[in-house]
Amino acid sequence: MSMLILSCTKDEVKITASANPTAGALSATATTLILSKDNATKPAVAFNFTAPSFGFDAAVTNTLQFGIKGSNFASAKEVPFSAGVLTKEYTVVDFNAFLIAMKLKTGEMTQVEARLKSQVTEASVAPIYSPVITLSVTPYTLIVPASYVYVPGDYQGWSPSSADSLASVTSNGIYVGVITFLPTKSFQFKITPKKEWNVAYGDAGGGSISTTAGDNLTVPSATSYQLTVDLNAKTIAAVPLSWGLIGSASPGGWDNDTDMTFNNGRRIWSLTVDLKVGEIKFRKNNGWDENFGGSNGTIAAGGDNIPVTVAGNYKVEFDLVNKTYTLTKL
């Protein structure tokens, strides 16, 4: 059997990879999917796969790839997996959103191909791919667009035109988002249905809001809060919610978090920060009850510390929706 030898002259480390690695096998619980909004919360499909083998002991990254049949996976839509994960389940609404993100036509059946891409960190070892499976899918139209309210306040200069927003993804009158209040400002704000002062909701007491209330709304302290505004019941709730960077590579070491800022439009946490050589993790509300580590751009609850191998100024992004992170050196 022919063998592929990779070596590092400096450390005299050799990696031997099989000339015939074994790809994982991919399967789906359904291959014909006519999606309907009436079944939005029901299971749609699950993808299962077996672990691949490269013939040597290495950390393997698995990614599920989707492409229009005949495109040879050009501009493939990818879903990365954490180590040890061998399945991905979708509800109808989630898989429908995924297909729309692939720019498929709604109400029409399209054939989509899926495969598992497996790779290791060694640059000279080529990725391996599972056999392709074909799905016949029909997504439905998302009839109701998202709607927004806005949060002008002292934290941003009382300007409705540039205020951050809270979103109602189904336009049901309940709006949710994260607002960061600064320690150098007061913690007062109002809620406006548009980016103007014509109509504004103030504090009516007891968690209620009203357009006739003169008092500003307020939170107790400088941190990030998840705000939930219910315009049906005319109520507001504010719950402290922050995610921070911690670790030997971060400014606060393992003792103090460096807080990140939430982008309500992109739904990600981000931070521009100087990092040292070391390790980092992401944790919620300055505690260890909820924390994420990971590798190769994928996060996992309680996962491994993320290495920082080169010191410098970085833009760090943390995406809880897609379970990913990026460290971009500036």
The residues spanned by each domain of the chain are 22-138, 147-240, 243-329
**Quick one: what percent of the chain has pLDDT higher than 70?**
92
CA 177 to chain centre: 15
Question: Can 22-138 and 243-329 be said to share one CATH topology?
Answer: yes
pLDDT at 159 > cutoff 90: yes
Confidence of residue 207 (pLDDT cuts 50, 70, 90): very high
CA 188 to each of CA 158, 180, 210: distance values in angstroms, whole numbers, following the listed order: 9, 12, 15
Confidence of residue 3 (pLDDT cuts 50, 70, 90): very low
pLDDT at 11 > cutoff 60: no
**Quick one: what percent of the chain has pLDDT higher than 90?**
63
| Helix ranges (DSSP H) in the chain | 92-101
CATH H-level, domain 147-240: superfamily: Immunoglobulins (2.60.40.10)
- Mean pLDDT for 217-239 is 94
CB within 8 A of 188, min separation 6: which ones? Answer: 153, 154, 216, 217, 218
Better-scored residue on pLDDT, 297 or 81: 297
- The pair phi, psi for residue 95, each rounded to 5°, is -70, -35
Reported as a single tens digit per residue, the pLDDT across 254-263 is 999 999 999 8
The pLDDT value given to residue 9: 37
Better-scored residue on pLDDT, 137 or 1: 137
**Hey, which of 33-47, 61-75, 199-213 has the most confident mean pLDDT?**
199-213
Better-scored residue on pLDDT, 167 or 208: 208
**In whole angstroms, what is the distance from residue 127 CA to residue 38 CA?**
40
pLDDT at 93 > cutoff 90: no
Max Cα–Cα distance, the chain, nearest Å: 81
pLDDT at 119 > cutoff 90: no
Rg (CA), the chain: 24
pLDDT at 5 > cutoff 60: no
Reported as a single tens digit per residue, the pLDDT across 262-291 is 988 778 899 999 999 999 999 999 999 899
Beta-ladder partners of 16: 5
- Mean pLDDT for 179-207 is 95
pLDDT at 97 > cutoff 70: yes
Domain 22-138 fold: Immunoglobulin-like (2.60.40)
pLDDT at 109 > cutoff 50: yes
Q: Is the pTM of this model over 0.75?
A: no
Reported as a single tens digit per residue, the pLDDT across 48-83 is 999 888 877 777 888 899 999 999 998 888 888 777
Domain 243-329 indexed as CATH 2.60.40.3620: yes
Identify residue 252 by its one-letter amino acid code: G
The pLDDT value given to residue 144: 61
